[in-house]
Every structure is written in C-alpha cells, then in structure tokens.
Amino acid sequence: MNQDPAETRDTAAPPPADTASPSPVSPELEPRSAPGAQDIDAASASLTVEEDDEARLPEIDDDSAEVADGPLAVGRAAIEQAVRLAPTSPGVYRMLNTADDVLYVGKAKNVKKRLSSYARPTGHVVRIARMIAATVTVEIISTSTETEALLLEANLIKQLRPRFNVLLRDDKSFPYILITGDHWAPQILKHRGAQSRPGRYFGPFASVGAVNRTITALQRAFLVRSCTDSFFESRTRPCLLYQIRRCAGPCTGEVDFPGYTELVREATDFLSGRSRAVKQELAVEMEKASNELEFETAALYRDRLAALSAIQSQQGINPRTVEEADVFAIHQEGGYSCVEVFFFRTGQNWGNRAYFPRAEKSFTPEEVLASFLAQFYDDKPPPKLILLSHDIEECELLANALCIKAGRKVEVAAPKRGEKKELVAHALTNAREALGRKLADTATQTRLMQGLATTLGLPRPPQRIEVYDNSHIQGTNAVGAMIVAGPDGFIKNQYRKFNIRSEGLTPGDDYAMMREVLQRRFKRLAAAKAEGDAAKPKEDDTPLWPDLVIIDGGRGQLNAARGVLTELGLGAEVTLLGVAKGPDRDAGRETLFMPEREAIKLEPRDPVLYFIQRLRDEAHRFVIGSHRKLRKKDIREAGLQEIPGIGPTRKRALLHHFGTLKEIERASIGDLGKVPGISAESARRIFDFFHPGPG
C-alpha cells in the first residue's frame, strides 16, 4: 500500500471520498500522448530536480504564474485527458514522463475521482506539483477489487521503483533454519530462497549471523548433523564434529536410529516454541544420570542445557503472550525515516533489522509505514499478527490483502496497552537509535566527500565514485572489478566484475587488463550517453555517470586508463585518480596521481587519505573474492577434465551429485555408480584415477 500524494495532510483541498460502487472490470487503458506534451521545456527542470535537492526547494505558491501557466498546466492537460477515459472502478494508475519513466504508481477505489484530484488548478504541495508538471502520460490498469489494486500497486512499486513513491530498500531475502525431511538422519542447515526442499522451516531470522549462532548452539544442545548428504554417505569414521561433541555421529552408527530421531524431535520442539518442556526433560535426564553416578552423561546434559540457555540469552526480549508476530516501529528525523522490524516466532525473539526507506520529507510517518508494509510483504509470508507503532489509514484493507496472500487470518493493529504496547515501544527505541547512527554516519560521509573534493580540486562533492582493480596469478584466472560508492556509502548492488577474455593478452600485463575493463565499462556508458540515458538515475538515485574514477595503481595504470577514455572521446568528462601503494606496500604512505598534475602526498592520519584507502581496500576485497571463486571453480573442474572418458555432461552430473571434487575422491565405486549417466566401467575408471594401485 502506498499513500497517494494527492491525499497528504498538506493538501489544501483533499479529493472527495470514493463512494461509487465498483463497476465491471475494464480493459487496461493506456493513453500514450497528451496535448501539449511536446511543449515541456527546460522550464520544467526546476520542478523535476532529484530528491536530494528537496531541502533546497522553496514552497511553491499555488497562485504562482510559473506553476499555474507553465509546466504544471501541461501535466494537468495530460491528466485531464486520462480522466475522460478513466473507469470509476478500482484500479492502479501510473504517471510517466517524456522518457516513459514511471514517476508514480498509485491505487484507488475510484480511479476517475482520484485522477480528477490531480487535475485541479490549485491546492498542490511541492512534491505533487513537481510530479504533475513532469507527467505527460497516465496508464491505468483496472482491477475487480480494491484489495487486488493494493497488491498490484505494491508489486509495481518494487518492480518499477518510481521516484515519487516511498521505496523499500531491501536487497536480501531472510534466512531460515531448515531441518530436512528427505533423509533418515535429518540435517540442520541455513536456508534462503524458495522453500521447496521437504522438511521443517523455522524463521525468518533477521540476519545470517543470528542463524549461524543459533545453529551452532543447537548442534551443541541436540547433536544434530549439519553435513551434506553426500558427505554423510561417504563417511567410514566419525568426523571432527563428533569428536568435539557437536554431532551424535549417525553416519557411522555412533547413535542408533531411535536415539537420533529423539534428538531431532527435541530440536524441532525447541524451535517450535516448546523450549521450556525441552529444558525440563534435559534437566530430569541430567539429574537421573547424576544419581546413577554416570557423571560423564550428566556433564553432557549439563552442556546441552547451557547451549539452550545461550540461545535464549542472545535473543534478548522474549514475549510472554505473543507467539507469532512482526513488530514495526517508525521514527523520522533529519529528513530520514527508519523502520525497525522485530520478528517473534514460537514465543521467541528471532532478531531485528532496521530499514531506511526512500521517501520525501513531506511524507508523514503513517504514510511511509503504510507503503512500507505493502512492499515488505510483497515477497514474504505474513505472520498471524502485525503490530505497528502508528495507526495507518486503510488498515483493514491491508489486513484483507495479507489474508488473501497468506490464506489465513492476519491481524494488523497498533496496540495501546499491555505487553504488545511494550514490544512496540522497544522497537521504537531501536528505530530511534538506528536512525541516530545513520545520521551520524551520513554526516561523516558528507564531510569526507567534501574533503575529497577539496583535496582533489573537484567542483563539487562526488555523487558516484567508481574504483577499479584486477587480480590474477601469473595471468591465470584474471578478473577485473568495479565497486561503487556514493554519499550514503558503498552501493553493493552496483558492483561489477569482468572476466578478462582478451586472447592476445600477455599473461600478467596489468596495464592491458585495466584497459580491457575500462573499455568494456565505458563503451557501454558512452552508448547510453548517446541514447540520452546516461543522466537517468538508477536505483537509490545513484547516477550512471561517475564523478570520480579511482584506479588501484600508479602513474602507469593511470595513463593506461586515460588512454582508453581519450580513445572513446571521454577524456574531458571523467576525473581520474591513481592510488599507488607506499614503499613496501605500507598503508598510510600512498601517493595520489592525477593527469597533468604533480603527485599528491597526504599526511598518514589525514581522514581523506583514510577514506581513499577504504575505497581501494573494498575494491581489493571484492576483486580478490571474485578471483578466488574463479580459481576454485577452475581447480575443481581441472581434476575431472584429466580423467579419460569423462566429458562435460558426466562432469556436471558428478559435481551436482557430490558437490565438491574432494567428495568425488572419497566416493566408493558403488556410490559413483549411483550417479545418473555413470556406468560401472566409468565408475571404475574414476575410482582408479583417484586411487591408483601400486606400480
């Protein structure tokens, strides 16, 4: 759900309430042009600046001649044409600009009435006036109900990321704990993505770290295996986890089937919320073993109880009356919004996460939270109860939409008293603290950007910094990488890696590798510029065009990069900086190089130098990781390529079945013969390759 900009509290004359009953489903209406759309000129630029300039915009006077008679009138004309064709039924509408970029996605119970509110000549605040002025086309999709419109709106907002909507910045799925159900000895593991594998899923957890800590403690408490099925089947003696008492050793019969099944049941009960009963059972067994003078067994139960206590102590606050709920609290300050989410499942706190949705300053907390919730559950299953820090409009509509999505009852409420109110207050405190840290980090980053611009003589602080590095071992598995940073820090969803593929490249030629990476990157950027797309912002409003390009290397690498940009006709448009390591690669003694300028040496404790080092080190970390993955894959496949008669199809089948080359080495002839496509003769050949006989 996204609060419509026409319904903000600042609007002088809000649109009338939708009272018309829904009409039959209408076909999609897509008016592709608007009268006077071609007349939009540079005068509209003052009304369509980027979100970051919002604080510098004065309030628009509704009687301003520039707005009433200029671009705003053009946008109103386009909307008026759409109103004539709009249905009176529920639906979703999209406002587009001259470049067919979606500016805003909204939903309405009566689309015609909603669009009419945008066409009135006065009563618009800055944000709405800017949106109307930039609009040249309105597209409409009719739905049968308002609930369907809400679900479609949330999906389109996450997909299209319109600049005038509240946008959820969420690039990762939540991790779960899975106890598998497709093996006689179930495995406990971390899981992301589609829940297609048979078994019991427990979550979501707020972070991978929380899952890893919980799994480690559960292994100590219940001795459930975490190894893969292929590793399990190939064991002939217990592994190290058995030796350190983190696995019961079912692979080699150290525990029988009923005993291991009981351990899995206890782990499942604990994760299902019956932790108190499980701990009481273990305490009884510990007391019984102690009374029978079986002190080693009693010590084992003692350690298991301590592991369970460790899990619950890490979870912090655990509710007494709330079994399954998500708690949302929002805090606004300094033009930013922070939404803190706590996850409670089976009466246990499974972590929290802070989100910073992109929203203009005119949005109220209720509007941001309402839009955030619809986008948050677009690809996640909702719990039975959702607790909020603020009362939102259309709360019942959101609950109905989530009920349809989940296939069961979902309650959405803003509690006023009791333990639920305490949970919300706790989340609100965390939201306030997280936003305080965010503002402090942003202020520090802003000062560093300004200091960098002053040191390098840039006309303004950079909005996009690209850092390039490459990695190889004597020319093999060569890979280049680009990392991106902006005013809010590293932008990891825009990192790129480049597998070096030039055939005539001399192994180990760093200059040639850098030239290939930059040619591939800036050819694409030059093409985008020629088509007029280079100035378009991408996700998070980061421009495609870099203000500063940093090369990991000295004057030689810098000249190689400069040569590439000159060949592409971009030499005057990109600021280059080379960062050479200090003597003996000593951090803090780097030298900075820029074209046609003397080398720059900064003091070792200079914050700007530290900032540049951090950018360089992040590029180094990313490229080294990419190189190691490539080398590992190459090494893994090379061993199979040397086996006579094992081609690509059988190689893929073996790796898919066993997972790693080491597991293939350990496999018996019988296990190898179970792989699809591997005959008895092929299995013998593979086994003999890894286990050569004497002589």
pLDDT tier at 213, thresholds 50, 70, 90: confident
Strands in 188-191's sheet, in edge-to-edge order, are 188-191, 176-180, 199-202
pLDDT tier at 243, thresholds 50, 70, 90: confident
Question: Pairing state of beta strands 465-473 and 411-413?
Answer: unpaired
Alpha-carbon distance 664 to 234, whole Å?
9
Question: 149, 91 in Cβ contact below 8 A?
Answer: yes
Burial of 128 (0-12, 13-18, 19+ CB in 10 A): buried
Strand partners, 537: 543
**Is the per-residue pLDDT at 22 higher than 50?**
no
- Half-sphere CA count of 259, side-chain side, radius 13 A: 9
pLDDT for 33: 35
**Is the per-residue pLDDT at 212 higher than 70?**
yes
Q: Could you give the domains of the chain?
A: 5-160 (3.40.1440.10), 176-314 (no CATH), 325-437 (3.30.420.340), 465-631 (3.30.420.340), 642-690 (1.10.150.20)
Tokens of 167: 């946008």
**Is the per-residue pLDDT at 182 higher than 60?**
yes
436-487 tens-digit pLDDT? 888 888 888 889 999 999 999 989 999 899 999 888 665 567 788 899 998 8
Question: 354, 329 in Cβ contact below 8 A?
Answer: no
pLDDT for 309: 67
Strand partners, 339: 330, 355
pLDDT tier at 203, thresholds 50, 70, 90: confident
**In sequence order, which residues have a C-beta less than 8 Å from that of residue 30 and are 6 or more positions away?**
139, 140
Q: What is the mean pLDDT of residues 643-668?
A: 75
Which contiguous run of DSSP H or E holds residue 77? Answer: helix 71-85
Please name the residue that has the structure tokens 């300004």.
Answer: 450
Please state the separation of Cα 206 from the chain's center in Å. 13
pLDDT for 428: 93
Prior bond of 238 cis (ω within 30°): no
**In sequence order, which residues have a C-beta less than 8 Å from that of residue 253 and are 6 or more positions away?**
none
Q: What is the mean pLDDT of residues 315-342?
A: 83
Q: What is the mean pLDDT of residues 132-143?
A: 90
Alpha-carbon distance 464 to 490, whole Å?
10
- Three-state SS at 369: helix
pLDDT for 7: 43
Question: Pairing state of beta strands 476-486 and 385-388?
Answer: unpaired
Nearest CA to 467 out of 492, 447, 448, 446 is that of 492
CA dihedral angle for residue 654, residue 656, residue 662, residue 666, rounded to 10 degrees? -60
pTM for this structure? 0.66
Three-state secondary structure of 148-176: HHHHHHHHHHHHHCCCCCCECCCCCCCCE
pLDDT for 104: 92
Percent helix, strand, coil in the chain, to 5, is 45, 15, 35
Strands in 137-142's sheet, in edge-to-edge order, are 102-108, 91-96, 137-142
Q: What is the mean pLDDT of residues 635-649?
A: 65
Question: 66, 124 in Cβ contact below 8 A?
Answer: no
Please name the residue that has the structure tokens 């070792």.
Answer: 604
Strands (E), 82-163: 91-96, 102-108, 137-142
Q: From the CB of residue 377, how many other CB atoms can be counted at a distance below 10 Å? A: 21
Query: pLDDT exceeding 70 applies to what percent of the chain?
Result: 79
pLDDT for 10: 39
Question: 423, 319 in Cβ contact below 8 A?
Answer: yes
Nearest CA to 228 out of 290, 178, 273, 263 is that of 178
Residue 49 DSSP label? -
